[in-house]
Amino acid sequence: MQARKNYRRILLILFFLSLGGIAALSYYYAVFSQIPDNISIYKDREEMLSFMPEQWILPVSGRIVPLGDNGEEGIKKEEKAEDAQEESLTVSQYMGTEKLSSDLLHINLQEEVSIEATEKGSYQMEIRCLGILMKKVRLQVIEEENVIPCGSIIGIYGETNGVLVLGTGEVTDRNGKKQEPAYNLVRSGDYITGLNGKRIAQKEEMLQFLETCDGEDVELTLRRNGKSVTVELQPVETEEEGYRFGIWVRNDTQGIGTLTFATTDGRFGALGHAVTDIDTGGILDLSEAGLYEAEVAGIRKGEPGVPGEISGIIHLGDNSRIGKILDNTPQGIFGSLSADLLQEAKEVPVALKQEIAAGPAQICCQLGDDIKSYQVEIEKIDRNPDVTTKSMVIHITDEELLKETNGIIQGMSGSPIVQNGKFVGAVTHVFVNDSTRGYGIFAENMLLHLQ
């Protein structure tokens, strides 16, 4: 009996030790996962960085090493370049100042760290706790830049780089039999770029080709996930439409959004997320796309489960084109402005993510003829998000905006967020079941596309 009691005691002790270990590891992971994988600092400006929470008691140290042009640690350059890099980064802590040299620099991460760099470049910090490597953080030195927060409604129109495949389906041949010639050969999201070796860019070119193909096998050149793929299929002759591939396609897109920011030299960023296809959900590969003048035609308020929307009129035409889209990325669309839209516009500094704090802020957007500023609250900040367009949770608190829209609605994507006189990010998404709340992207993530 005594042996059995001892056995039970041991099991209970092991059980509680396991619970304690799991709790400790969970806390350990939660702390280190909140340290960003990437930290940017501005050239020629001192940055004060805090890495660990005040209640953390275990010793944590950091080791900073320069990265070469290919991003690898310890890449040695010729002597003059290396000497220049040695002088370019200064780290201060406690008493005195230490300069980065070819040797490794160790710092105590339980204290605030001052870092100042005189040259652009990349470094890597290894974070260790009790000598165990916990995380590697990339430290990027970038140029400081001021931008002009905008908030104006814009029209977006673009043509795809090739004919976008929305999907495949059955067609009925002349004998009434259903066939699907493109099944398992062509996929949704493919771009058709050639027919029998001849390049095409418009769906009209594909339809013209089918009129003269006489039902012979056709070689399709596709772009799939950035790679060229060739497939062969036989078109089906239908009763009323002639020959068909059984492929549903599109080669242009248009919509309404918000211009986020501009620079005095004519660059812009907008939306805070990519232009995607409504059917495939994929990021559109655009060959020719532009920004156009637009006006607000109406507002549909957001409701639980049903996002609201700004409906607008896009003025297409050369005289109404105000910019050219050069890049369609997950963090927004970027390009050049071709019209003088920035008269009397005021520049503001761009805040890095470590400067943003939970609390009051403003968004700028256009719901009528004029751009207005509205009060919001930044409720949550994730400096290491899985999705870069969901770095902040914002809550609309402005009574006027709530009365007009019930919160965030479609078309407001890209509305700039300003806090303490600095551009901190842009609105990107709305919560489906709570239109007063939504996500925002860090300004820093958008500005990377202008470097």
Q: Which residues are catalytic?
A: 273, 398, 413
Identify the H or E element spanning 425: strand 422-431
Contacts of 329 (CB under 8 A, 6+ apart): 274, 283, 449
Measured between alpha carbons, how far is 390 from 273 in angstroms, rounded to an integer? 10
Amino acid at 201: A
DSSP 72-126: -BT----HHHHHHHHTTEEEE-SSSEEE--SS-EEEETTS-EEEEESS-EEEEEE
Measured between alpha carbons, how far is 188 from 167 in angstroms, rounded to an integer? 5
State how far the alpha carbon of 118 is from the alpha carbons of 39, 44, 85, 326, in Å. Answer: 16, 5, 9, 31
Amino acid at 49: L
Nearest 5°: CA angle at 348, between 347 and 351? 150
Nearest 5°: CA angle at 141, between 137 and 144? 135
Q: In the structure encoding, which two tokens stand for residue 72, read together?
A: 């690898």
SS3 391: coil
Task: Report the 10 Å Cβ neighbour count for 113.
Answer: 19
SS3 content of the chain, % helix, strand, coil (to 5): 15, 50, 35
